[in-house]
Amino acid sequence: MKLLGWVYLALGYAFVFLPVVVLVVFSFQDGRLPVPPFQGFSLQWYEKILSDSGLMTALWHSALVAFISSGLALLMGFLAAHALARVRLPGSVLMRGLLIAPMTVSYLIIALGLLTTFNQTGVKLSLITAGIGHVVINLPLCFAIAFAAMGDHQKNAERAARDLGASEVQVLWHISAPMLAPALAAAFFLSVTFSWDEFIIAFLLTRFEVTLPVEIWSMLRSGLSPATNAVGSLVFLVSISMVFLLEIFLFRRVK
């Protein structure tokens, strides 16, 4: 039974990571097509994409949208979670349900709804509209993580701070946020990861200023190339690096 467990685990990891391994390996392909057989090791495709101003601009756009939208989603999610966890409001259960509801809706539906709204109100499509879309999809995640992390020990500390004369803003800044720092950091980095490689919303809600996934899609329209594999490898590297940093500097500290 133990051997079967290890075999099952190995097959599971292979199923998840084999496509990524193939992507990374053939990004170093010396030939012009990312297909077997492997024709030799070369860094020419990484050199090509790193010298491509359009790709580097799209990379910067993705980072800008990811970090700013994740910061806004975290702030709004934290404030909403704190309010609904600490104050008894009429219909609070319904409010929590409405805040989490976008997690159950397809990104395509959200993007189409926002696109229609922006067109009706005359808002021009840009990185700002894409960022708004990413706030919409990441706000429920940030709210759910922050709300789940709030316990009675934070409530007692907040009550003690108020008794000592702290204002509500001071309580949030000096008591609530630091005590929830691990959960808030996890919510932020997960939001950055989801926003970093999100395509549908970025594709429908941008026009001339595009993010990296949209630029990759444009590259794929001209056919497969080791250059697209190299870009995909960089995207994967950034995503996995954020997960490892979160694990090393945050979760280990909590333990």
pLDDT confidence of residue 106 = 86
Q: What pLDDT sits at residue 35?
A: 59
- What pLDDT score does 252 carry? 57
pLDDT score for 208: 81
* pLDDT value, residue 72: 94
| pTM for the model | 0.80
Low-confidence ranges of the chain (pLDDT < 50): none
Domain limits of the chain? 55-254
What pLDDT, on the 0 to 100 scale, is given for residue 134?
94
Domain 55-254 CATH class label? mainly alpha
187-190 — which CB contacts under 8 Å span 24+ positions? 187/74, 187/77, 187/141, 187/142, 187/145, 187/146, 188/70, 188/71, 188/74, 188/142, 189/242, 189/243, 189/245, 189/246, 190/141, 190/145
Q: What is the pLDDT of residues 99-146, one digit of tens each?
A: 888 888 888 999 999 999 999 998 898 899 999 999 999 999 999 988
